[in-house]
Structure 1
Amino acid sequence: MAKEIILNINQSTTINAIVNKLIYDDDIDDITIKLSYEPGHFLKGEIFTVINAYIKHLESKKVICRFELLQNPCYSINYIARINFFKNINYPFVEDFNRHNSEGSLVEISEFNSKNMYDVVTRISYILSTVSDIDKDTINCVNYCLGELVANVEMHSKSNSNGLIYAQYFRNNILKIFIVDNGIGFYESFAENDEFNHLSEEDLLKKSLEEKFKSKNGGGQGYGLFHTKEFINLSEGILSINTCGKTLLSNKDYLSVINSNYWQGSIISLKFKTNCNVDYSQVFSANNDFYQPKIDLQELMEEYNNTNNEKLW
């Protein structure tokens, strides 16, 4: 059976809106993805990281996947070419721009596995090392948290395709990082542990940020997401986890799980301020208290989706 997906993307398009368009059906053996976009506006790299991951998922299922641009390329789409989206999906996009060295500003959409995952983490840490006035503690925290997150994908996702990571530094002192996998998702991974399989998806996602909360198989001590949450709180950032039809949003003032469109694995995003120096000892000696809501959820989601679209590359 053949299917067609049409994606209309503009600067306000969210990951959830894109995921809503994707098709998961074991009877489909041929999918054509057609893309249109809004010229003259910044297009978010995370959107294309998710599309890239979906195409990798289809390929792992031996589905024939075709991709089409519905309009002639313009400046807006050049950034998407620069972060290697077209290269990754083997689409013959003709680049009419000069590629400058990305070190210190972005990490293109990159596949990772057990052989190269820490190399990718090092590249992201290098971005921070080029930012003025950032201290070593903050870089060490990011290096540790990212190492834990990519290791979790490798150990627990059970994906038939590699994980993907993308990072972009913005000139308003914001770093955004996205880690996407096509695995079994948080709920199935943690529910393998008999101690947790009675929990709802919402409760399990919230507990995944608690200290020593871990899945039954694959090793690990249950500190990675907990310490990541603590770092995000101290750096005035936002942590988002999209998995199994739910999205968790967390910052220093808020923790909530909302319904979202179904993604078969997990989409983890970190957005934080690089000009907030973080005390390493505070992250790694934090207690287990959760924070009470102090802001409106809509405000948090708008902040999460907002991007400064200055020239980036």
Structure 2
Amino acid sequence: MAEHTIDINLDKCRRHEEVVSQLSPLFSVLAGDSVKIKLTVTKFTYPDFLVLVTAALRKLDEINVTPDGEIEIDDKTSGYISRMNFFQNLNVKFEEQFQRQDNNGRFIEITNFDGESDYLMVDKVVQMLQRYTSIDQSVMYLISFCLGEVVGNIFFHAESKNGGWITAQYYAKHNKIRIVVCDTGCGVHHSLKTNQKYAAWTEAEALEKCIENKVTNGKGMGFGLYATANFAKLNKGELLIYSGDNCLTSNRHGIKVSSGNKWQGTFVYLEINTDISVQPELVTDGYTDFIDSFKERYEEGGINGLW
């Protein structure tokens, strides 16, 4: 049995890769080991950083390891972190000193989902954004389509015992939404290697190729990440896919794959400008049936009539 002391200081993190570097030691913990955590969050931190911490710590459930430790926070950050359901998802007792209000179209709390609730996560994001008339309609269509593809990937490809995790926040002042969908499953490389066409690819090659059209392990069309990368590029946003020891960044400046610390599984970060219009047919190579599906589900007579 080994003892692990792990310092997670989100105050020092400005990028997702920096968060992974602090969480990576958690993925080497074995059954029977002991884990002591010191978590520091005394400054504002993005919820997409918090969801990565949550997913990495909850992966320890699979080997029946319960971490011990301490959390250093202050009054300014503790309420926000708690409202995002961070403590709740980690089974940490925290007495909230405020009355909970509706998220009011601003955010989606850190949420664990499975194959039966995956598309409900898309519904939550769409319904959050529909409160804002300023959001470009093409962006709404494409977020719904691309996010549906990303959450679906977890159950087609990830082999994740803990399902998936999601959080999203809309920053109205900046016309921007940040979304993270993550899992602690097998990762992109392992998944694609089950297709003999890609068995010889390295992990970096698998990550670089996974956003190309028709690249799949055979359980899907290989279209979702391709369309999502197109969307981020044309929207002047950003797509980040981190899996294993490699990270892919795709934006209007190009595509870059770099090596880093280990993330067990895959997480997808999507940053979209909600005021920049994108022609859907340019994202999806002419396929636009999803627009009619969106209208049926979310506009008059659809799911919104239930709320």
* TM-score bracket relative to the smaller structure: 0.7 to 0.9
Shift of 1:25: 3.0
What is the CA deviation profile of residues 247-298 of structure 1, one whole-angstrom value per residue up to 9, with x for unaligned ones? 00001221000011101101110001000122222212279xxxxxxxxxxx
What is the CA deviation profile of residues 75-113 of structure 1, one whole-angstrom value per residue up to 9, with x for unaligned ones? 123211110000111111111123221141100000111
More helix by share: 2
For residues 12-91 of structure 1, the aligned pairs below 5 Å read 12-21=13-22, 22-23=25-26, 24-26=28-30, 28-38=32-42, 41-70=43-72, 73-91=74-92
Alignment-derived partner of residue 296 in structure 2:
none
What is the CA deviation profile of residues 174-209 of structure 1, one whole-angstrom value per residue up to 9, with x for unaligned ones? 100001101000001101111011122222211111
CA contact (8 A) 2:112 2:166 kept: yes
Choose 199-208 or 131-140, whichever is displaced more.
131-140
Choose 22-31 or 237-246, whichever is displaced more.
22-31
Determine if the alignment matches structure 1 residue 244 to structure 2 residue 257. Answer: no
Residue correspondences, number: 282
Determine if the alignment matches structure 1 residue 96 to structure 2 residue 97. Answer: yes
Distance in 2 separating the partners of 1:19 and 1:135: 33
CA contact (8 A) 2:51 2:165 kept: yes
CA contact (8 A) 1:3 1:28 kept: no
Distance in 2 separating the partners of 1:135 and 1:48: 28
**TM value normalised by structure 1:** 0.85
Alignment-derived partner of residue 223 in structure 1:
223
Determine if the alignment matches structure 1 residue 119 to structure 2 residue 133. Answer: no
Q: Which amino acid aligns with 2:209?
A: K
Structure 2: segments with no counterpart, 5+ residues: 288-307
Distance in 2 separating the partners of 1:226 and 1:116: 24
What is the CA deviation profile of residues 212-265 of structure 1, one whole-angstrom value per residue up to 9, with x for unaligned ones? 11113xx21110001111111121100001111000000122100001110110
Distance in 1 separating the partners of 2:68 and 2:163: 20
CA contact (8 A) 1:31 1:64 kept: yes
Shift of 1:28: 4.6
Shift of 1:67: 4.5
Could you say what secondary structure the match of 1:262 adopts?
strand
Distance in 2 separating the partners of 1:77 and 1:271: 25
Structure 1: segments with no counterpart, 5+ residues: 288-313
Distance in 2 separating the partners of 1:11 and 1:174: 23
Alignment-derived partner of residue 146 in structure 1:
147
CA contact (8 A) 1:134 1:277 kept: no
**TM value normalised by structure 2:** 0.87
Could you say what secondary structure the match of 1:244 adopts?
strand
Determine if the alignment matches structure 1 residue 202 to structure 2 residue 195. Answer: no
Shift of 1:13: 4.0
CA contact (8 A) 1:104 1:130 kept: yes
Q: Percent same amino acid among aligned pairs?
A: 29
Alignment-derived partner of residue 282 in structure 2:
282
